[in-house]
A = this chain, B = another copy of it.
């Protein structure tokens, strides 16, 4: 299976693979199954396999691999867990995938400074497991158990972003291997700095197109004294979204506030066997703080939700109940896919200013209903960010075309509302045209930067920008 990549340097790739083999031995693979697995992310995008996969074990080794690939002008694609959603790992022009999943050491935890440094292959769950006895946690949680290198590279966020920010706010510094194999550290460990260009933020979200992230230093947070989760169903989507808007505008520091429409809620109930819930527009909340602070937040949120018809709050205060609830939320994507066995998911996301959220969601929902497509809606609505999953058979061109048309309309709607074509999934090769529509002339500045740092266009080519 799989679509053939437009390979280049067929002659030189063999030389590069031979040199890499000499460096890495068994950790350089050209086995078909390994190649295919590395050419595919979690979305409907077809397999675009690389010519070889290099399993690196250190920053220095990544630098050596990059030098070899650069010398042979062979494309390089970084790979963490392969859970990207816009085709980020596809080897569009062949080349060598640099898999950092073996780089999974937690290098330091500075509990007194609320920060830590890990290798790029460490996943968010692994980090939190490691932190369990420290009283600290790392809040950023995209649905998948992604690697921190991948999360940094796509500027990931997730359910906690409304309170704790995204990878943009939470990465303190990165170790990066540049396109010519130099090793740089983007920042020091102090909380703030005015020293020179913000290379940390430049590499966060650059999707491997400017260099390869090998180490990530992030902020940590104290586990709150009190955590309470609640689920609240609403009679209609509008009431749920308007509650969100008012909660945000009131400055209530909710830690999580997630919307599931009735289709997605139904899917989650079925998939995660949730009992006592109804397939209605629903908000999932979580409150973090002191005993008194959480009580205060809850009172304010209940009052606002009540005004919009959301009255039936179901509470989960015990850790295991909360975990079950959020597990169900994090599995929303798989729950959506389970609605149509054998189908694939095309997940997409946009983000708009909070004042436009109700309008954007309701118009989008109307579009979906008119199309008759299966496309559950779920979102980190506290940030103005929401997702659709078009549940399709990608081998049926008419379904792809229909999803494309719906997606175009949704993204252009978000742009017209001063929003962005992606709140957290990234551009990959799925949204390059939308980036041009969104950023206009700024894309040419991005291109100048890309060409300065990667003049041969070897770093994850074909992603974010057309060169």
Contact = CB atoms under 8 A, between A and B. Distances in A.
Interface of A: 110, 112-115, 154-157, 161, 165-166, 168-169, 178, 182-199, 201-202, 204-206, 210, 221-222, 245, 249-251, 290, 292-293, 296, 351-355, 383-385, 414-415, 418-427, 431, 434-435, 438-446, 448-453, 464-465
Contact of A198 (B168, B184, B188, B249): B168
B452 A193 contact: no
A155 B194 contact: yes
Contacts of A189: 353, 418-419
B351 A192 contact: yes
A354 B113 contact: yes
Given A449-B452, A451-B452, A194 B423 contact: yes
A201 to B, nearest CB: 3
Nearest to A189: B418
Contacts of A169: 165, 169
A445 B453 contact: yes
A453 B445 CA distance: 7
A420 B293 contact: no
A202 B209 CA distance: 16
Contacts of A427: 194-196
B355 A110 contact: yes
A193 B249 contact: no
Contacts of A440: 184-185
Contact of A448 (B166, B191, B453, B464): B453
5 contacts: A178-B445, A190-B385, A194-B426, A197-B450, A201-B202
A182 B444 CA distance: 10
Given A188-B420, A197-B202, 12 more contacts: A166-B192, A178-B445, A182-B444, A189-B419, A190-B419, A191-B353, A195-B427, A196-B443, A197-B206, A198-B198, A202-B449, A292-B292
B199 A205 contact: no
Contacts of A292: 292-293, 296
Nearest to A436: B196
Given A110-B355, A184-B445, A198 B194 contact: no
A353 B251 contact: no
A383 B185 contact: no
A266 B296 CA distance: 41
B112 A354 contact: yes
A221 B251 contact: yes
Contact of A353 (B113, B186, B201): B113
Contact of A190 (B193, B420, B453, B465): B420
A165 B189 CA distance: 16
B190 A351 contact: yes
Q: Which 5 A-B pairs have the closest CB atoms?
A: A452-B452, A201-B201, A193-B420, A112-B355, A189-B418
Contacts of A154: 194
A259 B193 CA distance: 19
A293 B87 CA distance: 45
Contacts of A421: 195
Nearest to A354: B113
A194 B449 contact: no
Nearest to A209: B197
A199 B420 contact: no
Contacts of A201: 168, 198, 201-202
A337 B121 CA distance: 52
Most interface-central of A115, A182, A196, A221 (chain B CB within 10 A): A196
Contact of A202 (B155, B202, B250, B441): B202
Given A197-B205, A296-B293, A190 B113 contact: no
Nearest to A193: B420
Contacts of A193: 155, 351, 420, 422-423
Nearest to A415: B188
Contacts of A192: 155, 157, 161, 166, 168, 351, 383, 385, 420, 423-424
Nearest to A439: B196
A194 B424 contact: yes
A8 to B, nearest CB: 24
Contacts of A445: 178, 184, 199, 453
A191 B110 CA distance: 29
